[in-house]
Amino acid sequence: AQSVTQPDIHITVSEGASLELRCNYSYGATPYLFWYVQSPGQGLQLLLKYFSGDTLVQGIKGFEAEFKRSQSSFNLRKPSVHWSDAAEYFCAVGAWTGFQKLVFGTGTRLLVSP
């Protein structure tokens, strides 16, 4: 069965510092991997996705993520965090067969300190 682990419930980062959010997945085949961001009271917005090709993927808002098959990881990174990045971040895994049943991690809440 598919599963996703986001080991950090909360992370606090100073504005301007770098960020890495961890995501580990369990899946029997090559997964489709996604990172979503949710601001308070809002829906989820897609940051980036991986399904094949280059293992370093670029997303919106200056985020990137690297797929590491040997570690079953898909960590999200940003070189310099802005106060507006404070939100909750969800990693998700799925298998696209013309249909998608994504399995989500429990989320990591990012706090940005001045």
By CB under 8 A, name the binding residues for another protein: 4, 6, 32, 34, 36, 41-46, 49, 51, 90, 92, 94, 96, 98-107
Other Cβ atoms less than 10 A from the Cβ of 57: the count is 19
CB of 47 to another protein, least distance (A): 10
Could you give the C-alpha distances from 35 to 4, 48, 52, 96, 114, in angstroms and in order?
A: 11, 6, 15, 16, 25
Instruction: State the greatest distance between any 2 C-alpha atoms of the chain, in Å, as a whole number.
Output: 44
CB of 82 to another protein, least distance (A): 23
For another protein, the closer of residues 27 and 51 by Cβ is: 51
For another protein, the closer of residues 52 and 114 by Cβ is: 52
